[in-house]
Structure 1
Amino acid sequence: MYVRPSDDRINFYQDSDGDVVGFEYLLFAQFEFVGLSVRKKAAKSLFKDNDGKSSFLKQLTWIAVSYMQMTEEQVETWSSDANQYVADDDDETFNYSVRIAAIDLLQQALQALADTTQHLIEESDKARATCDKCWWKMQEACLKAIGYVSEEFISAIQDSKVNFDLHGLFEHVVFNYVTAIDIPFLQGRAIVFASQFATFLSGELAARYIAATVDAIQRIESIPAKVSSLKALQNFCRYLDTQYVAPYQSNIIEGVASLLNVTSEDSLILVLETLEFAIKINNDVTARYEHVIGPLVIDVWMKNPTDHLIVSVITDLFESLASNTAAYAAFQSRALPSLVNIINNATESAAVASAIDLITSLVKGGPSPLPTSYVEHIFPSLIHLMLVHEDRSILQNGEVCLKYFIQKDCEHISQWVDSSGKTGLDYVMQYIAKSLQPCESESACFLGELVVKLINKAGNRIVPVLPDLLKAAATRLEGAKTATFIQSLVMIFAHLILSQLSTVVDFLNTLDINGRNGLEFLLNIWLENHESFQGYYSIKVSSIALSKLFLSGDPRIQSIQVKGDLIVTDSSNPDQYTYISSNVKIIKLLISDYQNSSDSDLCDEWEDVEEPSPFAPAEDYVVLSEYLNNKGTEIDLDDDPDVKDDPVYLTNLRDYLTDFFCHCAIQNENNFVHLCSELNEEEQQKLRSLQGRITAKTSPSVSSKKRILNGRNNSSASNIQLMNSSTILDQGSTSNSWDFRPYWNGQVVEWSQKLWLPIVTDSASDEHKLFSDILEINTNSHIGPS
């Protein structure tokens, strides 16, 4: 191994891209190559001796850990620059170095790492005895290496796959370094190391380490120790029961709060994240410190209103403080004046959008109804801003904020009147109408959620304008181009179909969208875009609504022709598609949804792969991509209590679709078996895969379960049913007006219940052969109670 003296100067070179090319880049390549080789089954024999032992691996890990030692340049930089230390020492850092490359390699050889660590710690102790001033670097590197793989290490020890005296390491080595003030990097590493193994520590030992960590953050001045203490406190709060950290909450808040005004950039984010952990320990203690926390958090935001990373953490802090009932009144009174001032006066769109986001946190966390000032003062400022602004972020954040205003205090909004006589609901409808104009941009991707919330909460108050609103939404779809905007508008109708299928179908059938039938127009767009819909809840709503359309048996739906499969040709002409009935298309889409919902459950059943991809799985990138494309709506929906209470949200989509296909096949619902003959071979094979999922069971409550598939489960968070009074349960009335009323058609049924129905079949025709191996249909057989 090459060790460069601190005074030795090395000439570095740059490649054609301007990147520095030097000795460490050669090490990058070597470590990466060896790391990939260790994973290869064919190369495993290269890393073991004839007797099955791994002396080569031990030597390899010794070299890797040795290269993990801090350089003098790193010591100098990190001692004076907290931001650089935070960035470089993060487990997910983008600042790649030999130190990080070595850690990546060491993950492949835990037992060799354990053996090497014990040996290197002993060697380091000998170096210490000889007064080697750099003796601590090797021990710091050892703790860094093991701490990085702490979860795997604990699991391997518990499964007896790795032999290592972890208890002895904590008792006799680590705790001594936690108080080693004269060696700040080793002290900091020991503190972080202890927190990484928090779940492994005994209660008594954990308490000792927490106390030492809190003491370090309050009294020690060195940057490495403070940064490490902040990281350690996050781990202790994350992994340990609150009983261990609760006694220190006041000290943690005081220590962390004292750093807010003296940190910036990466280190400021670390401080804010630690504060967020601290205020969640005990709400009453947090409330007592609101006078300290509140001003500091608001001040940090006022100084950094356009820094997306800092604002993201500040938003989380706002949500935590707003959800704390003991601290809410004082905190919202302190925060609102600054936020409203930004909305009314700021010229920078990013700052205004950020202020709206923080107000949303206060509205979400507030009581229902909201304090009077929200509707009387904040709502008018917000809605007037949205009516005149065109900025994408302002409109999107504003729509989410309006949605929660309506959820929390729709009654007050409907009663509020300005000097011109317009009510709050008038202004909300004005904004929706503006956003649905063909000339408007498609930045309002949360508009559908706002409309659905308005329908659920406003009830009869919007009856006079509801048909025009739905017509405008359907018409706006004609020129819609972005997937998120299309989804937002389609979801309005999908939600209504779940409870008012026949009324919505009747209404759409009467619409004329520039010469096209409204029902045909909507179905074509919906079915063409369903597969691109995003979000756990939205996909369920769309899938279940489509299943209801199929089960309705409405001939108007069955007669509609939509795009089918792509016609594959050698021609360079534009893509051409087959045209199929809407019912066939619905079956195709629901088969795909079933497969997608099954993949997440079945992924663990695949055989173990010897050569895992070096790339992170695709789902790790979803959040970032959704945010970049303004598709991150599902996070917000999951926080909506109305959504969480919705039976659709609680539905297991795979089970629902299993029951749907079972019912359709056995009943031959709407000529289902014949329609399946129009599926391609892959889709038919997917249907056959349902065989293992379908088991006939009896149920004492057939009628209540049957209501679900027949579209008569009318439960919703708001208990409101939209109906056309000339056709739906309005005896004595012949008007054709929209009406809202509570309507419970018998027992409320959970969507997740199975749908085993009494069935009698006449024969097993050729068309039924597709399902004979799945359902084992026999003449005069039945499922359910006799």
Structure 2
Amino acid sequence: MEQQVLQLVEGTLKPDSTVIRNSEQGLNALYPNPQFPFALLAIATNTGIAISTRQAAVTTLKTYISGTWSPVFDETFLGNVYLDSQGKSRIRDQVFSFAVTQDAHRGTAELYKIAASVTSRIAAADFPDEWPNLLSNLLGLIRTSESDSTIQSSLTVLADLIDAALTEDQFFSVARDLVNSLDHVAANSNLSLPTRALSLNVFQSCFGTLEMVLAEHGKAVRAFLDESLKTWVVFLISVLREPLPSFVQAGASPGKADLRRGVITLQVQATKTLDKIRHVYSAGLTPYSVDLFQVFWERLNAVVPEYMQFFVTGQEEGNLQGDDGLPCSLDAVVMEEIDFFSALLKAPPVRTELDKQLQHGTFVQDLIRVLAQYSCVPDEGAEMWEADPEIYLTEMNLVSTNYTARSACADLVTRALYGWLKESLFEAMLLVDPSRTPTSWKEKEAFLFLLNQTLNEAEMASATLSQGLVTRLMEQASTSLQDSNPYVRAGAQLVLGSLFIVAGDGFVDAGASAFANAITSAANDESDAVKVACFSAFADYVQALPARASAPLQRGAIDAVAEFIHSHDIKEDFEDAEEIKSTLIIAVRDAMLVDTSKLDQTSAIDSFFILASNGATTDNTTIFYLSTESFENIVESVAQHGEETFGRFCSRTLPVLTGAFDVADMTEESNLTNLAAELVSVLAEFGCQPLPDGFVAALMPRLQRVLMTATVDSLVQPATRAVQYMLSKGTDQFVEWKDQSGTSSLEIVLTIINRLLNAPEVDENAAQEVGGLASAVVEKYGPEALGPYLVELLRALATRLATAERIQFIQSLCMVFVSLSTTTAADVVTFLSQLDINGRNGLQVVLTKWLENSVLFAGFEDVRKNIVALSKLFDLQDERIKQIGVKGDLVVENTGRIKTRSQARLNPDRYTTIPADLKVLKLLVEELDEPAAIDLSSKAVRDELMNFAEQGGTKDRAHDNEAVEYLAAWFRANGAEPGFQDRFALLSVDEQQKLKTLLG
């Protein structure tokens, strides 16, 4: 059988998808054979077989165990257990033996990681009942073995066991033995440095469980930690005081390089261990904080020359990991030590000690100098800046996904130093000022970077710096504007932009002058890095300066952006440059917002659309949404100037938008159509009312074509909103408009609604704006113009509501009836009660969906309307409403156990059934809460909330004061009505208490 399994396993590694699929099916067909897992193990342990095949065999074994070992794996279990207890025992023994006995072949580390995960997977089901000796065997190997490979394998299995299979109670019972075993390995100088480091790494994984155990067994755990810390801290300090072996040039002895990396690996894990202890039991580490501070301060000072020599300007590689996955490069230990040092600076004993020294010492200045050196960009990084200004800008804005020593230094300055020292930190920075000393450009640039981050932190704290300090900082940064290095000039531009935000009102003229200089540099500097830094600073100046100071500079700022766009091929040069394009959009947007009354006379609109369309055609969602939000800000501002200004703005924007629709049609560029639809919907929603003449005629043909053919939500939703707002705000134009064939706008919009409701290719997500459009049709055309169409429209909405599933779509459809019920509740009830929807009463269909989903309705306006509509329904006291039964409260089953998904499928949540009018009352009581009232005990609610979060829903379900006051008044009025007490008695105790509190 082994040969057959080997051929199938090898087949899963072939490039041919058909062969892979057939091989996987062949393996699955062998599951019932009790010899199958043993054949996989035989392949995995055969050193004569290729590593890739052995790994595939172990992976297949893990899949087999997940699917067939035990029903406790409810997410993956396939329904059958094929091994008896004896067979399982043999598998456990063989898997364990394999996982803890590495062979000497290189490249097998990943193989044994997978084997360890198989062991922990079995342990999750069998430990401790069926596998009681697993942990003791592991700890025995770790304590007694002198073999690095055996201990490393055992540690890997132990780490997986702690993470996946060990309960809190099990951990607590063995914690002392476990920790002592790990401590034994870490302190054993006869073992290799990577083995000792791995032991510390596993030790850190204990702290997640230890933190949970601490909550239940606090006294015992704290006593154990207090006792253990006496030796742990001494040991960890001794590791950190170990000098780094000399850097080994390429081609030198591998043993020396391994020794250096081994020491670094151990020191990284020592620092991480201290940080874990700090997170879980900071009080226990407090007595050692001053000693630790001294150790880490000495370390940072001692390592910085080597870091500068070999990492910043030398050839030492960064971001390296060993075979065990642990960091082993110099930058890793520097980052960890800076981060931990940052935490130490916040420790009260350290603060107390430093406060004594600050008046006469130079610690802060010395620290800033050290941090500036650690913040220097390495040669390789500088080359990347030169090749791509996008990389430079992402690092300046700290949006890069790479966490570096530079990032760690920025965190230390902003989170530890600024919060403590405030303006004194800037005073210290003025004393450092590398621009006055013969330092490298890298140190000058790094200092400006840290200064800029500190200024940003001051802005976040809403600080305003003293005038004298601002003046000196301004002079300091201004000297760097003339530096020969472009990155120093760029850093100075960023600093000045940030400075004027916290400068106060006394620096308007100086800020305007600096803004003018940034505009000039953005247009004329030879370096793109300087230009994008200047564009980044534009937003700061617009925020900091009053309109009277920035208005004269508006045209120059807009022209500088336009010049940059036209001097580059944005699509080619900056195809993936998200940060640069975002910066340009923000720069042109903020420049436009200085004064939006005459934008039609500038190049701003053209620049904005070039950038926005580029983001759309490159499928960049960040640029897409930034463009949409920015356009919304611009349109709102333009509309505030009145209809004439908005009309001129539309005369420039509408041709571009209609052109975008047409170009998208010709090129089949769907993302461009999506953008055009979004911007059109923004223009219609936030523009003036009435909309300018010709607005509907220009856009409706394109939107009609989109809504009669499109299916994707990213296009259908904004196009539907656009038609809705064109009807709402340009009613006369819309009602009079006809298409080329003479079909009236009413017939067209009803056809669109019918498609959104009933076309199988349009899903609920795409059609979720249809309710708003239908409401606008009912409101703006009116019953007389609609005639028989009104009944058919409402029937179609109610019919579709019966099968609706997504909460957003349900809300959209319900809101049509909600809006009508706020003014004509009785008519709505009568109409719906006369409807037959597939054999069900229309009132029952609509009320059931409405009331059972009402708690999830989102948005201020909709929640407010819903509250009013529900109160109007209750006021009717209509017997037809009272006779309808709807879902009430969750029936709580006190089983004492957490319900898994498989159990939930077999035994779903049950609810009471209550009259609809009582449900209305309960919903209104819930709405009395100022926070959003959401029943998290409801599985339906929980599932829908999770679904909403996955879809990126951002609408807040919140109350405004007006709605809460309305409800309070309504309850006070109804509380005195006859019969109210009967309904009050049916409320829950909590609901009754809310009303008693309200009504007194």
- The answer to which of 4-13 and 506-515 deviates more is 4-13
Kindly provide the amino acid, as one letter, of the partner of residue 136 in structure 1: K
**2:559 is the alignment partner of 1:254:** yes
- The answer to which of 96-105 and 510-519 deviates more is 96-105
Among 383, 400, 403, the alignment partner of 2:704 is: 383
Among 427, 430, 436, the alignment partner of 1:118 is: 427
- Please give the secondary structure, in 2, of the residue aligned with 1:594: coil
Among 777, 787, 791, the alignment partner of 1:463 is: 787
- In 2, Cα distance between equivalents of 1:452 and 1:649: 22
Among 948, 973, 984, the alignment partner of 1:663 is: 973
Counterpart residue number, 1:99: 406
- Please give the secondary structure, in 2, of the residue aligned with 1:579: strand
Kindly provide the amino acid, as one letter, of the partner of residue 249 in structure 1: Q
Among 358, 374, 381, the alignment partner of 1:67 is: 374
Q: CA deviation at 1:245?
A: 0.7
Q: CA deviation at 1:220?
A: 1.6
**2:499 is the alignment partner of 1:197:** yes
Among 72, 83, 86, the alignment partner of 2:393 is: 86
**2:842 is the alignment partner of 1:518:** yes
**2:586 is the alignment partner of 1:273:** yes
* Greater helix proportion: 2
Counterpart residue number, 2:599: 286
Among 782, 792, 798, the alignment partner of 1:474 is: 798
Which string of whole-angstrom CA distances, capped at 9 and with x for unpartnered residues, describes residues 312-358 of structure 1?
34445655367553742541364145224135434343332222223
RMSD: 3.7
Which string of whole-angstrom CA distances, capped at 9 and with x for unpartnered residues, describes residues 106-156 of structure 1?
32432436545533543444x843465555145314412312302256538
TM-score (norm 2): 0.59
Q: Residues 611-760 of structure 1 correspond to what in structure 2 (within 5 A)?
A: 629=951, 631=953, 652-665=962-975, 667=976, 669=977, 671-687=979-995, 690=998
- In 2, Cα distance between equivalents of 1:598 and 1:421: 48
- In 1, Cα distance between equivalents of 2:746 and 2:723: 11
Q: CA deviation at 1:429?
A: 0.3
Which string of whole-angstrom CA distances, capped at 9 and with x for unpartnered residues, describes residues 635-686 of structure 1?
9xxxxxxxxxxxx998622322333333333x1x463344333333443444
Q: Residues 287-436 of structure 1 correspond to what in structure 2 (within 5 A)?
A: 287-289=600-602, 292-301=603-612, 303-306=614-617, 307=619, 308-316=621-629, 320=634, 323=639, 324-325=645-646, 327-332=648-653, 334-342=655-663, 344-364=665-685, 373-376=694-697, 378-418=699-739, 420-436=741-757
Which string of whole-angstrom CA distances, capped at 9 and with x for unpartnered residues, describes residues 690-741 of structure 1?
4xxxxxxxxxxxxxxxxxxxxxxxxxxxxxxxxxxxxxxxxxxxxxxxxxxx
- In 2, Cα distance between equivalents of 1:212 and 1:115: 29
Counterpart residue number, 1:454: 777
Q: Judging changes above 3 Å, is the alpha-carbon distance between structure 1 residues 116 and 339 closer, same or farther for their aligned structure 2 residues?
A: closer
- In 2, Cα distance between equivalents of 1:473 and 1:310: 36
Q: Judging changes above 3 Å, is the alpha-carbon distance between structure 1 residues 509 and 63 closer, same or farther for their aligned structure 2 residues?
A: farther
- In 2, Cα distance between equivalents of 1:576 and 1:258: 65
- In 2, Cα distance between equivalents of 1:430 and 1:345: 25
- Check conservation: 1:121, 1:138, Cα contact below 8 A: no
Q: CA deviation at 1:277?
A: 0.9
**Greater relative contact order (CA < 8 Å, ≥ 6 in sequence):** 1
Which string of whole-angstrom CA distances, capped at 9 and with x for unpartnered residues, describes residues 55-88 of structure 1?
9995777755553343343333223321112222
Q: CA deviation at 1:210?
A: 1.7
- Please give the secondary structure, in 2, of the residue aligned with 1:534: coil
- Check conservation: 1:537, 1:649, Cα contact below 8 A: no
- Check conservation: 2:932, 2:959, Cα contact below 8 A: no
Kindly provide the amino acid, as one letter, of the partner of residue 545 in structure 2: L
- Please give the secondary structure, in 1, of the residue aligned with 2:316: coil
Q: Judging changes above 3 Å, is the alpha-carbon distance between structure 1 residues 564 and 411 closer, same or farther for their aligned structure 2 residues?
A: same
Q: Judging changes above 3 Å, is the alpha-carbon distance between structure 1 residues 195 and 432 closer, same or farther for their aligned structure 2 residues?
A: same
- Please give the secondary structure, in 1, of the residue aligned with 2:886: strand
Counterpart residue number, 1:224: 529
- Check conservation: 1:597, 1:653, Cα contact below 8 A: no
- In 2, Cα distance between equivalents of 1:340 and 1:13: 49
- In 2, Cα distance between equivalents of 1:686 and 1:73: 65
- Check conservation: 2:455, 2:499, Cα contact below 8 A: yes
- In 1, Cα distance between equivalents of 2:650 and 2:380: 50
- In 1, Cα distance between equivalents of 2:463 and 2:676: 45
Q: CA deviation at 1:623?
A: 14
- In 1, Cα distance between equivalents of 2:472 and 2:382: 25
Counterpart residue number, 1:611: none
Counterpart residue number, 2:197: none
- Check conservation: 1:537, 1:634, Cα contact below 8 A: no
- Check conservation: 2:557, 2:591, Cα contact below 8 A: yes
- The answer to which of 30-39 and 81-90 deviates more is 30-39
**2:451 is the alignment partner of 1:143:** yes
- In 1, Cα distance between equivalents of 2:391 and 2:354: 46
Q: CA deviation at 1:504?
A: 0.9
- Please give the secondary structure, in 2, of the residue aligned with 1:389: coil
- In 2, Cα distance between equivalents of 1:72 and 1:85: 13
Which string of whole-angstrom CA distances, capped at 9 and with x for unpartnered residues, describes residues 549-591 of structure 1?
2233223223332111111223941211112222332233233
- In 2, Cα distance between equivalents of 1:189 and 1:50: 31
- Check conservation: 1:276, 1:316, Cα contact below 8 A: no
Q: Judging changes above 3 Å, is the alpha-carbon distance between structure 1 residues 438 and 419 closer, same or farther for their aligned structure 2 residues?
A: closer
- In 2, Cα distance between equivalents of 1:560 and 1:409: 41
Count residues in correspondence: 645
- In 2, Cα distance between equivalents of 1:452 and 1:208: 53
Counterpart residue number, 2:127: none
Kindly provide the amino acid, as one letter, of the partner of residue 928 in structure 2: Y
Q: Judging changes above 3 Å, is the alpha-carbon distance between structure 1 residues 224 and 477 closer, same or farther for their aligned structure 2 residues?
A: same
- The answer to which of 255-264 and 27-36 deviates more is 27-36
Which string of whole-angstrom CA distances, capped at 9 and with x for unpartnered residues, describes residues 366-424 of structure 1?
66665665444532332133223323322212201211221233333333344655212
Kindly provide the amino acid, as one letter, of the partner of residue 676 in structure 2: A
- In 2, Cα distance between equivalents of 1:31 and 1:586: 58
- In 2, Cα distance between equivalents of 1:229 and 1:594: 50
- Please give the secondary structure, in 2, of the residue aligned with 1:578: strand
Q: Residues 134-173 of structure 1 correspond to what in structure 2 (within 5 A)?
A: 134-152=442-460, 155=463, 166-173=469-476
Among 441, 447, 452, the alignment partner of 2:763 is: 441
**2:922 is the alignment partner of 1:588:** yes
- Check conservation: 1:61, 1:112, Cα contact below 8 A: no
- In 1, Cα distance between equivalents of 2:797 and 2:328: 58
Counterpart residue number, 1:605: none
Kindly provide the amino acid, as one letter, of the partner of residue 283 in structure 1: T
Percentage of pairs with the same residue? 24
Long gaps (5+) in structure 2 = 1-299, 640-644, 935-943
Q: CA deviation at 1:31?
A: 4.8
- In 1, Cα distance between equivalents of 2:805 and 2:785: 32
- In 1, Cα distance between equivalents of 2:986 and 2:630: 54
Long gaps (5+) in structure 1 = 159-163, 601-621, 636-647, 691-773, 776-786
Which string of whole-angstrom CA distances, capped at 9 and with x for unpartnered residues, describes residues 443-466 of structure 1?
200001111111111123213211
TM-score (norm 1): 0.73
Which string of whole-angstrom CA distances, capped at 9 and with x for unpartnered residues, describes residues 515-545 of structure 1?
3222222222111111222222222222222
Counterpart residue number, 1:539: 863
- Please give the secondary structure, in 2, of the residue aligned with 1:580: strand
From the CA coordinates, give the structure whose radius of gyration is larger.
2
Q: Judging changes above 3 Å, is the alpha-carbon distance between structure 1 residues 402 and 561 closer, same or farther for their aligned structure 2 residues?
A: same
- Check conservation: 2:393, 2:532, Cα contact below 8 A: yes
Q: Judging changes above 3 Å, is the alpha-carbon distance between structure 1 residues 627 and 582 closer, same or farther for their aligned structure 2 residues?
A: closer
Q: CA deviation at 1:242?
A: 0.8
Q: CA deviation at 1:187?
A: 2.8
- The answer to which of 416-425 and 533-542 deviates more is 416-425
- Check conservation: 1:87, 1:95, Cα contact below 8 A: no
- Check conservation: 1:287, 1:326, Cα contact below 8 A: no
